[in-house]
């Protein structure tokens, strides 16, 4: 898989008073293969309500809907999958609890990636590739060269790779041709709160990630 993997981050949108569902509709115009809801500070009920509202916006066979951190809410909202971090439930536990869900897992070094691949997730996210401001305490930047090696190792295990961290329209072209999805938060959010520009931002990122025609 390759192309744009939009992450709909509720905190980022709330800071600019951008409606989550309107923002989601705009980024989904690019028909990404995956989209994720990240709602770190909402209640479980609020997150579930948002996931259920997003479900009909993500047609089966076109865009898979992933929840962040919460396999229980992913199941209740009929999501396609869940994304877990290094401090969340391990992949093996999620498989036992929710065998119908696809699972993505965050990794921040080749050692973490190798450990994650043993559990056979559906995808492994690797990064941060570039410096990022989406996390208060980001992990060290790994760079594109390490991403290429991570992609090689993941493919050898039949696993997709997702690049994460600091990806923007200005650097996305560096990932083109490496056969990776690119998870993006900040570069999709207009700093001036102009919702009308979101779809264009998503299209520009998608085009950069696909490389020259």
Alpha carbon 78 to chain centroid, angstroms: 18
Among 3.40.47.10, 3.40.50.2000, 3.20.20.70, 3.40.50.300, what is the CATH number of 3-210? 3.20.20.70
pLDDT in tens, 18-68: 999 999 999 999 999 999 999 999 999 999 999 999 999 999 899 999 999
Q: 102 phi and psi, to 5 degrees?
A: -75, 155
Rounded to two decimals, what is the model's pTM? 0.95
- pLDDT number for residue 207: 95
The pLDDT value given to residue 213: 58
What local confidence, expressed as pLDDT, does residue 136 receive?
A: 64
For the chain, residues with pLDDT lower than 70 are: 134-136, 213
The pLDDT, as a whole number, for residue 212 is 73
Q: Name the region of 60 (left: φ>0; alpha: ψ -120 to 50; beta: rest).
A: beta
Burial 19-43 (b: 16+ CB within 10 A, else e): ebeebbebbbebebebbbbbbeebe
Residue 12's pLDDT is what?
96
Residue positions counted in the chain: 213
At 138 the pLDDT is 75
Is 157 within 8 Å of 120 (Cβ atoms)? Answer: yes
- The closest of 140, 75, 81, 134 to 107, measured between CA atoms, is 140
pLDDT for position 33:
96
Q: Give the pLDDT score at 95.
A: 95
With a CB cutoff of 8 Å and minimum separation 6, the contacts of 207 are: none
Distance CA(99)–CA(112), nearest Å, equals: 23
């Amino acid at each position: 898989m390759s192309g744009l993997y939009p992450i709909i981050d509720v905190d980022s949108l709330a800071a600019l008073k951008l409606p989550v569902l309107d923002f989601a509709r705009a980024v989904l115009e690019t028909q990404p293969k995956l989209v994720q809801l990240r709602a770190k500070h909402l209640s479980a009920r609020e997150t579930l309500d948002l996931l259920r509202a997003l479900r009909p916006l993500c047609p089966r066979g076109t865009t898979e809907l992933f929840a962040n951190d919460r396999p229980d809410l992913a199941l209740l909202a009929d999501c396609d999958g869940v994304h877990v971090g290094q401090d969340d439930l391990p992949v093996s536990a999620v498989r036992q609890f929710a065998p119908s869900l696809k699972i993505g897992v965050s990794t921040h070094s080749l050692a973490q990636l190798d450990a994650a691949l043993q559990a056979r997730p559906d995808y492994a996210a690797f990064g941060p590739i570039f410096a990022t401001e989406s996390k208060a305490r980001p992990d060290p930047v790994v760079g594109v060269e390490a991403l290429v090696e991570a992609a090689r190792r993941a493919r050898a295990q039949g696993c997709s790779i997702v690049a994460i961290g600091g990806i923007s329209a200005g650097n996305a072209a560096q990932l083109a041709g490496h056969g990776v999805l690119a998870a993006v938060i900040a570069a999709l959010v207009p700093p001036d709160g102009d919702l009308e520009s979101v779809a264009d931002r998503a299209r520009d990122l998608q085009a950069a990630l696909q490389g020259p025609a």
